[in-house]
Structure 1
Amino acid sequence: MRTERQRGIALITVILIVALATTVASFVAWRQQVWTRQVENLRDASQGEAIARAGVDWAGAILSEDRRKNQVDHLGEPWNQHVALPVERGSVAGGISDSQARFNLNNLVRGGQASGADIAVFQRLLGLLDLPATLADALVDWLDADHQPTGADGAEDAYYLALPEPYYPANRALVDLAELPMVRGFDRAIVAKLAPYVCVLPTPTPVNVNTAGAEVLAAAIPGLNLDDARQLVEKRGDGSQSLADFRGKLSAEQALGLRENLLSVASDFFQADLSVEFGRVRQRYLALYQRQGQNWPLLLWLQQR
C-alpha cells in the first residue's frame, strides 16, 4: 500500500513539474514574443520618423521653389495640394497650409504694448464665432509684461494667484494654442471653436487675403460682413496680386476702415501636416516653417502628435 501511495505521489509530482515547466516555457515564449514586437515597433517608429523627415524636406523644397517663382501666395499654387505616396511597408500622406490664413494671437501685443487694431480684429472674430469679446482683455494680460489688468475682464497676478491651484500669467508670447485653457475665461471647448481661425506665430503677421477664410476676412476688415466675405472667398480664384488689387474688389463701404498693415497677399509662415504609416506604427507630425527671402525655409519646430 505504501509503495502504491509513493508511486501516486511521484506521479503527481512529475505532473506538477511538467505543468510548471510548461508554464515557464510558455511565459518565456510570450515574453520573447512581446520583446520581439517591441523591437519591431521601435524599428518601425524609427523608420517612420525618417520618412516624416523626408516629408519635411519635401515641404521645404516646395515652399522654397514657390518663393523663387513669385512673391504672391494663393490657394491655386502647388503647395496647396494633398499628397499621398507609397513607400516600402507603408505610406506617407499630408499637405501644407498657410498659417497666415488665420489670425495670429500674438498680434494682440506688439513691442510689449497692447495693439488696439489687433484687439478689435480679435473681438470681431470672437463675435462672429458667438464667443464673448471679453476674452480678448484676458488674453492681452496673459501676453503683456505689465501687471495692470486690461479692462474690466483682464486678469493679472492677483487673479491667477487666487485660484485653488495658483500660478502666474505667462507675460510673454504664446508658444502653442494648448496654453489657452490657462487664460481666464478660456476652456477646451472655446479653444476647439477658435482653433480653425487662429494661430500662434513667433512674430506679428498680417492676414493673407488670398488664403484666409470668410470669418477671418470679416474680422480683419471692419466694413466686410460675413455673407459678403463668403462671396469674396467663393469668387477669388487665384486671389489678388497686390493689396491695391484686393481693395478694388471691395465696395467703398466694405473698404471703409481697412488697414493695409494688417493684411497681405503673401505669407512667410506655413505648416505641414504629415501622416506616416510604417509596419504597425501610425504617426502624425506637424512642422512649422518660416520663409526668409530666397533662402531655404527655416524649420521652426517639428512635433509628433
Structure 2
Amino acid sequence: MEQKYHICSSGAFLFIFIILLTVCLSIEAQTSGASRKLVGQKSPLVSQQHTKATLTINSFEKGGDGGGPSECDGQYHSDKTMIVALSTRWYNNGKRCFDYITINGNGRSVRAMVVDECDSTRGCADDIVDASKAVWKALGVKENSRDWGEMKVFWSDACNPSGKIIGRNPPLDQCNQENQSECCKRGKLYTTYKCSPQVSQRTKATLTINSFQKGGDGGAPSECDDKYHPDNTPVVALSTGWFSNRRRCLDYVMVYGNGKSVKARVVDECDSSMGCDSDHDYQPPCPNNIVDASKAVWKALGVPESDWGEMEVQWSDA
C-alpha cells in the first residue's frame, strides 16, 4: 500500500508541474516586447490600397508594456510619438523599419512610423498594428471609450521622400530642352523618391510629354528594351515606384484624361531617385507621380497641341 501511494503522489506532482510550466510559458509569450494577442504567423497580404487590421495599444517607453527597446533602432519612444509595431509578416524582417504607414479608422487618418515588430511567433496575432497612445489620440478615440485598446482599421504604406540631391548646371550643349524639359540649376535642392503613391483601379497621376526617339529629350534608349521609339507610338515611362524595378516593363497601361482613354506600353522609367547627371541628361529627378508619355498618347487623348506639356490624368494596369 505504501508503494502505490508513493507512485500516485509522484504522478500528481508531475501533472501539477506540467500545468505550471504551461502557464508560465503562456504568460511569457503575452508579455515579451510588443508581442501580445493570439498566436499567428501569417499576416494577411498587404493590399495595394488599404489592408484590414486590428489596432491595439502599446507603450514604447522605458518601463512600458512594450518591454525592451524597439527593434528597429534599439531605443525607447515617448507615448506622444506617432509610432507603431507591425505583426511579423508585415514587419517583413525589418524592411519596413522607419517607413511611414497611413492608418484609417474612426473616420480619420494618421501617419505613423514603424519602429518595432509585434512578434507573431511569440504571441502577437497576425493582423496587428500595435500603436502608441499618440496614434489613438490622433484618430480621435477617447481613452474612456470602449474602442480604446482594440479597434478595426485599415492601413497602407505611405510614400515619403528618400532624400535630396544638389543640382548643378549642365555642360555646354547638354540637357535637351525639347518639350519644355527642365534643366538642373546649380545649388538648387531636388527631392528624390524611391516610391510612388499606391496603385488603385484608377490611380491619379500627372501626364507629361517625352520624346523616346533617338536625339529626343528622353536621352538614352528605353530601359525596358534598350531601343528608341518613334513619337507616333503610344509609349510611356513611369515614375520609379510605379515602374517597380522593371516589373511593368513592356506591360500595357490605360491612361484616362480629357474625357478619353488610350492604351500605351511601358518602355522606360522616369527616374525619381536620381538626376542632374549625365545619365539623366542633367534633368532633375522625376516626381513620383508621373506618366511620361509620347506625343501619340497626347494625340489619342484629343489634347490640342497648344495644351501639351502637363495634365492631370488617371491610369491603371491594362
Which TM-score band (shorter chain)? Answer: under 0.3
Structure showing greater radius of gyration is 1
The TM-score, its normalising length taken from structure 2, stands at 0.25
More helix by share: 1
Query: When you count strand as a share of all residues, which structure comes out higher?
Result: 2
Higher RCO structure (Cα 8 Å, ≥6 apart): 1
TM-score by length of 1: 0.26
